Amino acid sequence: MQGRFHTFHTKALMYTSYEDYEATAKWLLPQTEQRPKVAIICGSGLGGLAEKLENRDVIPYRDIPNFPQTTVEGHQGQLVFGTLEGHQCVCMQGRFHTYEGFDVYQVTYPVRVFSLLGVRTLVVTNAAGGLNSSFSVGDIMLIKDHINMPGLVGNNPLCGPNDDRFGVRFPCMSDAYDRDLMALAQQTAEEQGIGAFLQQGVYCMVGGPTYESIAEGRALRTLGADAVGMSTALEVVVARHCGLRVLGFSLITNKVVMSDDDSTLKANHAEVLVACNNRAQDLQGLVRGILAQMPLDPEDL
């Protein structure tokens, strides 16, 4: 009996403790005067938004206690604190992916730290492959729902002992993407004249790093996904668990190969980065426009 208990205890030690997140938050606070209410996770090629922040404090991940380090080309690895359209923000320039070898607890580590810093709203962006045939490369998809493929098969960042200080054991995900922020995004895109490029859809997270086979692309479409990528859902699950509002965007950087006829259209990382550069400015402008119209937290007034 004691042996079995011991086995459980050893496994439990693998999970990050509240004190670890708290230690990181406490280390970060004196590094900046910013007290962010908004966190922005910049996806592949979308880190430019962090350059637009005013009164910036830049902190490389390598200096931050307990933070993982990024390894992907096109991703930097730093937190940028600053003000954007009147909102105190923290941007992740570079995020963590399971395909880099990080576990789901490392991938989502920053989100809980942000919540302890006082963040109330999370904006997530990513590069994604289009599954919906009506989407074009360069479209921006407002994420209305997700399929957390790693989570569905048991690799969920909320697996393990639940810490009630963050949230409940069985959190709801049917309202993960905030409807009011989605409406504001739609309205802002129309005002900015990019409504024609703004789609809405379901994002499916897969583990990667392989792009989808034809059969996989077709299967994901059949499951109801409009776009597929290798990030975001895990961070959103943890953000919702600790009560953050979430707004998400996918930049459609390529069309997923869906039949033998178009199998010469091979997905590749270079193509993804080119599409990002072309439309990234519009997505950055859209996020800024949304923040400009988003009410400030009453505590900031």
Catalytic residues: 44, 75, 97, 99-100, 127, 230-231, 254, 269
Q: With respect to ligand HPA, which residue has the nearer C-beta, 2 or 264?
A: 264
Is residue 228 within the footprint of ligand HPA (CB under 6 A)? yes
Q: Where are the alpha helices (DSSP H) in 223-268?
A: 233-241
Q: With respect to ligand HPA, which residue has the nearer C-beta, 88 or 254?
A: 254
* Neighbouring C-alpha atoms within 13 Å toward the C-beta of 76: 18
Nearest-5° angle of CA 110, CA 161, CA 116? Answer: 30
Residues 6+ apart with CB under 8 A from 122: 38, 39, 40, 41, 111, 114, 235, 236, 239, 244, 245, 246, 247
**Interface map 74-113 toward ligand HPA (x if CB under 6 A):** ----------------------------------------
The label of the residue with tokens 């920053």 reads: 110
Is residue 45 within the footprint of ligand HPA (CB under 6 A)? no
Tell me how far apart the alpha carbons of residues 263 and 269 are, in angstroms, rounded to a whole number. Answer: 16
Is residue 254 within the footprint of ligand HPA (CB under 6 A)? yes
Is residue 272 within the footprint of ligand HPA (CB under 6 A)? yes
Closest separation between CB of residue 47 and ligand HPA, Å? 15
Give the helix, strand, coil percentages of the chain, each rounded to 5. 40, 20, 40
Strand-pair partners of 90: 39, 81
Look up residue 211 and give its DSSP letter.
P
Is residue 230 within the footprint of ligand HPA (CB under 6 A)? yes
Say if CB 145 and CB 225 are below 8 A apart: no
Q: With respect to ligand HPA, which residue has the nearer C-beta, 88 or 253?
A: 253
Q: With respect to ligand HPA, which residue has the nearer C-beta, 32 or 98?
A: 98
**Size of site (CB under 6 A) for ligand HPA:** 13
Is residue 267 within the footprint of ligand HPA (CB under 6 A)? yes
Is residue 128 within the footprint of ligand HPA (CB under 6 A)? yes
What are the b/e assignments for 248-264, b being 16+ CB within 10 Å? Answer: bbbbbbbbbbbeeeeee
Q: Which of 36, 167, 229, 289 binds ligand HPA (CB under 6 A)?
A: 229
Is residue 121 within the footprint of ligand HPA (CB under 6 A)? no
- Total Cβ atoms within 10 A of residue 219: 14
Closest separation between CB of residue 129 and ligand HPA, Å? 2
Is residue 258 within the footprint of ligand HPA (CB under 6 A)? no
The label of the residue with tokens 């730290």 reads: 113
Q: Which of 176, 256, 258, 286 binds ligand HPA (CB under 6 A)?
A: 256
Q: With respect to ligand HPA, which residue has the nearer C-beta, 252 or 294?
A: 252
Tell me how far apart the alpha carbons of residues 108 and 148 are, in angstroms, rounded to a whole number. Answer: 14
Q: With respect to ligand HPA, which residue has the nearer C-beta, 85 or 282?
A: 282
Residues of the shown chain interacting with ligand HPA in the complex, contacts defined by CB under 6 A: 127-129, 211-212, 228-230, 253-254, 256, 267, 272
